[in-house]
Amino acid sequence: MADDDFDRFYAASYDRLLRQLFVVTGGDLAEAEDVLQEAYARALARWRSVGEYDAPEAWVRRVAINLAGMTARRLRSRAKALLRLGEPGQLPELSPDSVDLAAALRTVPLAQREALVLHHMAGLTVDEVAGQLGVPTGTIKTRLARGRAALARQLGAQPTGEVLA
């Protein structure tokens, strides 16, 4: 089959495969759609060869079923781990300042937020943060400086070396 045949294949097989995957996933339509779309994406990437198979639909079905099984195993493992961990502990009550700080941190780019939290809240040194994140020490220093400045602007304060306590 040629590349342009994929659209026809998709349209002709989608509903049938979705109904099958719906049952395989235990009636989870969202999961069935997710694994089926991933299987079609993989088929499209290999369409020159998959399109030549006697039954490309069987290939897509097998990939989708394998993906559904991997998802189910991952969810079972997660559930077992959560059971072993038991009930989560009581979360400490957050002060209004903590809530404001968390809101301000959400506005800071992720890389800066990671550096700020690891350095100021987890108590890691700049070198330890760099090692943890796998980036040079100078990069962490820059992220910390920019993150502190962004937080200070967000919180309406003057930038200091220690915004997070």
Segment among 17-31, 68-82, 118-132 with least mean pLDDT:
68-82
pLDDT digits (tens, 9 = 90+) for 87-114: 777 777 878 877 888 888 888 898 999 9
pTM, full prediction: 0.50
Give the pLDDT confidence score for residue 163 in this predicted structure: 45
Give the pLDDT confidence score for residue 165 in this predicted structure: 41
Q: Is the pLDDT of residue 39 over 90?
A: yes
Question: If you search the block for the tokens 């070396």, which residue do you land on?
Answer: 161
Distance CA 2, CA 22 (A): 29
Q: Is 162 within 8 Å of 123 (Cβ atoms)?
A: no
Query: Which residues, 6+ apart, have CB-to-CB distance to 104 below 8 Å?
Result: 151, 154, 155
Calculate Rg over the CA atoms of the chain: 25
Distance CA 36, CA 57 (A): 11
Is the torsion defined by CA of 131, 134, 140, 146 positive or negative? negative
Is the torsion defined by CA of 43, 46, 51, 56 positive or negative? negative
Instruction: Map out the domains of the chain with their CATH numbers.
Output: 5-85 (no CATH), 96-155 (1.10.10.10)
pLDDT digits (tens, 9 = 90+) for 13-31: 999 999 999 988 888 899 9
